[in-house]
């Protein structure tokens, strides 16, 4: 199956953000992608107060709009993440949602690891001020042979990826808004390491450029697709666009057969 990952520069304007995403999803589908993924915080990346005030349930407008895109283009579509309503007062979830070509929600993953970090020479971001952590690992069975779902900061926790593989993942999504400073140092290195360790394809849509968020002022970009041997198959080096590549699930099997990490692991 051909897959594509988008690179966006989301702002505080939900309508504009969704229009940009829809245009690129359509372009990727036109080029043959049957699976398309958008970045973290696709609908809104602005002042932090809006994250909670604009939060919606899974059956709200934003998910309905993405469901319609999936139906229109007849693709599997991953909304990298949006602010989902939470029962905890003053907070929301950072949630990734997977839609079928019929527009049905197949799976939803709530970000487990929250980015509470003061970056040297960069921003201080405290995601947990407004976001509740998720608790559940999510592998969508039957999609790309088993699709494991993560979001951004999860990338730094290799044990999460190992758990997803144990749960049947052969492809793992990492929709992100990495800071410029951490992205330049660690983004590609971590993505390739996770691909090699998990022996999975890694699909990493990304935000790029400056944002109106008081904490996350700019994102690194470099959306990319990596194969289970750790090779970068396609990358958006700058600006808005998408990376696209063919996913050969037989390669996952051959890499795992040639280097059977699961059988060799000693706990």
Q: Report the catalytic residues.
A: 40, 111, 152
What are phi and psi for residue 5, nearest 5 degrees? -125, 130
Rg (C-alpha) for the chain, rounded Å, is 17
Burial of 10: CB neighbours in 10 Å, binned 0-12, 13-18, 19+: buried
Chain position carrying tokens 């602005």: 46
Q: CA-to-CA distance for 101 and 134, rounded, in angstroms?
A: 26
Q: How far is it, in rounded angstroms, from Cα 28 to Cα 252?
A: 24
Q: Are 218 and 128 in contact (CB under 8 A)?
A: no
């Amino acid at each position: 199956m051909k897959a594509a990952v988008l690179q966006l520069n989301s702002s505080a304007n939900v309508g504009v953000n969704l229009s940009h995403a829809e245009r690129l999803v359509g372009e990727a589908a036109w080029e043959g992608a049957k699976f398309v993924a958008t970045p973290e915080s696709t609908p809104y990346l602005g002042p932090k107060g809006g994250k909670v005030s604009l939060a919606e349930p899974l059956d709200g407008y934003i998910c309905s709009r993405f469901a319609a895109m999936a139906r229109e283009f007849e693709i599997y579509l991953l909304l990298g993440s949006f602010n989902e309503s939470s029962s905890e007062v003053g907070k929301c979830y950072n949630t990734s949602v997977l839609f079928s070509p019929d527009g049905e929600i197949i799976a939803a993953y709530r970000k487990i690891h929250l980015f509470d970090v003061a970056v040297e020479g960069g921003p201080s971001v405290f995601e947990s001020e407004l976001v509740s952590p998720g608790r559940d690992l999510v592998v969508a069975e039957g999609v790309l042979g088993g699709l494991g779902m993560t979001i951004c900061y999860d990338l730094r926790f290799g044990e999460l990826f190992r758990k997803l593989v144990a749960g049947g993942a052969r492809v793992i999504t990492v929709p992100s808004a990495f800071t410029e400073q951490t992205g330049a140092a660690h983004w590609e290195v971590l993505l390739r390491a996770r691909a090699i360790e998990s022996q999975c394809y890694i699909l990493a849509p990304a935000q790029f450029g400056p944002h109106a968020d008081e904490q996350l002022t700019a994102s690194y970009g470099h959306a990319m697709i990596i194969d289970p041997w750790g090779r970068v198959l396609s990358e958006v080096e700058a600006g808005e666009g998408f990376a696209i590549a063919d996913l050969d699930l037989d390669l996952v099997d051959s890499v795992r057969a040639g280097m059977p990490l699961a059988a060799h692991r000693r706990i």
